[in-house]
Structure 1
Amino acid sequence: MKIDVKIPSPGESITEVELTKWLVSNGDIVEKDQEIAEVESEKATLPIIAPEAGKIELVVDEGSTMSVNQICCYIDTSFSASTESKPEQVDNSTEHSKTSKAEQSKEKPKEQDKDEIHVTSGIKVTPLAKKKMEESSLNIDDIIKGLRRITAADVDLAKQELSNSSGSSEIVEKAKDQDRGLERKPMSQLRKKVSERLVTAKNTTAMLTTFNEVDMSRVQEIRAKYQKDFQEKYGVKLGLMSFFVRAAVEALKLHPMTNSMIVGEDIVTPNYIDMGIAVQTPKGLMVPVIRDAQKMSFADIEKEILRLATKAREGRITLDELNGGTFTITNGGIFGSMLSTPIINYPQSAILGMHNIVERPVAVNGRVEIRPIMYVALSYDHRIIDGKDSAAFLMDIKRMVENPEKLLFSGDEPVKKLIGL
């Protein structure tokens, strides 16, 4: 029995996805619940799972844009791993031998067909393309007529391929010298969505950015002193991000408008903090969300960041793990960025930008000292956050990161807490 395998729905409001990669080849025997392909929506990359075991027949190419519930392949359940191996497990009777040879002769072309490139009238055609042409009653001339015009770059490419096959290096060098072609490829669904959100943020918000600098000496001392013990106890490294997440949590409590957003004509302020952490992935920028960051310890934060970042980079992040968020932190410092103006993750109202740590001469108690300094930036929506509040927020981040002990006392001086001030 042949069953349909359809494009799953990645989530509400998403109607189209891009089939980015087949994980199997045409004619392969697949197992039930095996991942057979990857599709990319405007928010995440998701796998297609084989509903049953059997022989797979691919009907679309990689890179195709498809609608939700559209058929992408078929699985013939009359084939399976066990049925494929049966000929090796029976006796050596003459009748079976004839049958086995007949079956092998029938199957052999199909096995070769997986990797074979058909050549028709001098034109190379892939097996899947050949099948689609036959189904649509199209020939080579029809396909060529439907293509774009031939450019000089196409001629150079053909010359290079011909020279490679004939072993001529002189023509290859000439083709390289004349190569001024352009590569054009469609924008991915995820990249389209990120682009839309960035443009919306720029066009909708009254975005400004304020800056400050943070002396990272104390954080570096703590990490150097307790890194080994922390890693042995919790199984994760003590990174920089947990200090900034905890500092941001306390600063957001002191400045709730920074944790707010505009909905219609209302200002909505959650009584929780869902912290978005920007992560660069092979598919583009993603912002997984740490839920209820205000309840988390350093170890909880580091574990959750590692879990979400790993899933995002492997393309296994879920929509639920990307949706929402009340405030975002992005760290351009890991790429060497000294200073930037991060764009607000709309509809949020503010985003904190971290940057690289550089040893700089600074004045300390009337003396010039070399200290590890990080520049930080806060981009904010001036419609609901005033300049005074944005500067105060960044100052609170600075004083809590420079003196992490204050995080134990909601950002206050420990001595003031001790004596009740």
Structure 2
Amino acid sequence: MAIEIKAPTFPESVADGTVATWHKQPGDAVKRDDLIVDIETDKVVLEVLATADGVLGAIVKNEGDTVLSDEVLGSIEAGGAAAAPAAAPAASAPAEAAAAAPAAADEDAIGAPAARKLAEENGINLNSVKGTGKDGRVTKEDVVAAIEAKKSAPAAKPAAPAAAAPVVVASGDRTEKRVPMTRLRAKVAERLVEAQSNMAMLTTFNEVDMTEVMALRSKYKDLFEKSHNGVRLGFMSFFVKAATEALKRFPAVNASIDGSDIVYHGYADVGVAVSSDRGLVVPVLRNAEQMSLAEIEGGIATFGKKARDGKLSMDEMTGGTFTITNGGTFGSMMSTPIVNPPQAAILGMHNILQRPMAVNGQVVIRPMMYLALSYDHRLIDGKEAVTFLVTIKNLLEDPARLLLDI
């Protein structure tokens, strides 16, 4: 009995997908819940699993083909069909032998079996060798002589270089490789161009003294990890916490434009940019304003692992009212991040550097980080954007404000 293999049901935001990889080939035995094929969409890679034991039958959609929601990809021959491929070669053996017989007879007319084997191993065309055997057949000795002649031919007279004008040849490896753009990369490119084309985007900068946050983290990181089942205390949770507090005070930064309307969100779904082998992905921490530092760090760690393994789900990638990206992990000192529409703003973190700062009339060395806030000027005024970023700066330079709500 043939069981259809169908593409998953895509959400409304995903029009179609592309067959990325078939992990099984026709005739391969499959078991229930075996991974059969990967479907790549604009956001994630969806895995299609076998629904029954059997043998993979015909493949309808090949790698690279575009598929729609619930479209048939192939079929599985369920039940005892798994034994069929093993019996097939024995049944067809006589026919294959009969078909091969004329070819073998023709080859025997040219050369002996030993000669054919030796010629094949050494890349010698048997038809080009003069046979000295009976009826002009090529013997093993003829092939050996042809091999020796082939080895000595290059040494006899090397090819003379052309007497042309000297040509300057670039040194080094100049290979090129052309590969199709992945759907994720193509979608990211499309959205980035769309954001720059359709928004009045502007970036404001500030800097934050990380002394207090770093001291707090250094003092409590071991106890924090022990108290929260191995969850490590990083810097991102402080920034998410400070951002959600600032979003409460400046609702326009957490809003979005829908046509001619402004939609104010009474919650903070914070997207955290994560780098993966497939490209930049932005999973979302839902209701981040209600999460503790441990919950934020645990969520980010889970997203990072899923991104590396390609296991992020569609729900984890959609939505979001505000985004934070950390280029500092790669050494970036300053950047202008691009807003992820329909959101109105994105916060960029950067590298922490020891720099001389003037504090109370004295020059001291402090760990400083540049912050960048890119925002949609159609929705957010410059005063709001600057004050929002200053609020984050103040909360991070005095973390007690986060606990006291001041």
TM-score with structure 1 length normalisation? 0.73
Q: 1:284 aligns with which of 276, 279, 286?
A: 279
- Alignment of 1:49 onto 2:49: yes
Q: How much has 1:16 moved relative to structure 2?
A: 2.3
- 1:210: which partner in 2? 204
- Alignment of 1:353 onto 2:348: yes
Are residues 79 and 374 of structure 1, via their aligned partners in 2, closer, same or farther at CA, if it must alter by over 3 Å? Answer: farther
* In 2, Cα distance between equivalents of 1:178 and 1:301: 48
Structure 2: give runs of 5+ residues left out of the alignment.
94-150, 159-169
- 1:419: which partner in 2? none
Are the equivalent residues in 2 in contact too, given 1:53–1:80 (CA < 8 A)? no
- Alignment of 1:244 onto 2:246: no
* In 2, Cα distance between equivalents of 1:211 and 1:330: 14
Q: How much has 1:183 moved relative to structure 2?
A: 2.5
Aligned structure 1 segments of 4 or more residues deviating by more than 4 angstroms = 176-181
Q: Deviations over 1:65-124 (max 9, x none)?
A: 33333332321113477x69xxxxxxxxxxxxxxx9x6774699xxxxxxxxxxxxxxxx
Q: 2:288 aligns with which of 285, 293, 302?
A: 293
Matched AA of 2:389: L
- 2:14: which partner in 1? 14
* In 1, Cα distance between equivalents of 2:173 and 2:224: 55
Q: How much has 1:180 moved relative to structure 2?
A: 4.9
* In 1, Cα distance between equivalents of 2:281 and 2:69: 22
Identity fraction in percent: 48
Matched AA of 1:38: D
* In 2, Cα distance between equivalents of 1:177 and 1:105: 56
Q: How much has 1:330 moved relative to structure 2?
A: 0.5
- 2:222: which partner in 1? 228
Are residues 61 and 103 of structure 1, via their aligned partners in 2, closer, same or farther at CA, if it must alter by over 3 Å? Answer: closer
* In 2, Cα distance between equivalents of 1:22 and 1:80: 20
* In 1, Cα distance between equivalents of 2:308 and 2:184: 13
Q: CA RMSD in A?
A: 2.8
- 1:62: which partner in 2? 63
Q: Deviations over 1:219-247 (max 9, x none)?
A: 11111111111111112100111000000
Q: Deviations over 1:41-87 (max 9, x none)?
A: 01211101111111113624433333333332321113477x69xxx
Matched AA of 2:273: A
Are residues 255 and 78 of structure 1, via their aligned partners in 2, closer, same or farther at CA, if it must alter by over 3 Å? Answer: same
Matched AA of 2:243: A
Are the equivalent residues in 2 in contact too, given 1:30–1:80 (CA < 8 A)? no
Matched AA of 1:217: T
Q: 1:362 aligns with which of 336, 351, 357?
A: 357
Q: How much has 1:31 moved relative to structure 2?
A: 1.1
Matched AA of 1:47: E
Are residues 78 and 394 of structure 1, via their aligned partners in 2, closer, same or farther at CA, if it must alter by over 3 Å? Answer: same
* In 2, Cα distance between equivalents of 1:186 and 1:306: 31
- 1:402: which partner in 2? 397
> How many residues are paired up?
333
TM-score with structure 2 length normalisation? 0.76
Q: Deviations over 1:124-162 (max 9, x none)?
A: xxxxxxxxxxxxxxxxxxxxxxxxxxxxxxxxxxxxxxx
Larger gyration radius, structure 1 or structure 2: 2
Are residues 343 and 103 of structure 1, via their aligned partners in 2, closer, same or farther at CA, if it must alter by over 3 Å? Answer: closer
Structure 1: give runs of 5+ residues left out of the alignment.
85-99, 109-165, 171-175, 413-421
Q: How much has 1:179 moved relative to structure 2?
A: 7.3
* In 1, Cα distance between equivalents of 2:71 and 2:88: 33
* In 1, Cα distance between equivalents of 2:30 and 2:353: 53
- Alignment of 1:269 onto 2:264: yes
Are residues 382 and 13 of structure 1, via their aligned partners in 2, closer, same or farther at CA, if it must alter by over 3 Å? Answer: closer
* In 2, Cα distance between equivalents of 1:336 and 1:107: 63
* In 1, Cα distance between equivalents of 2:266 and 2:343: 15
Q: How much has 1:355 moved relative to structure 2?
A: 0.6
The residue matched to 2:316 in structure 1 has which SS? coil
- 2:24: which partner in 1? 24
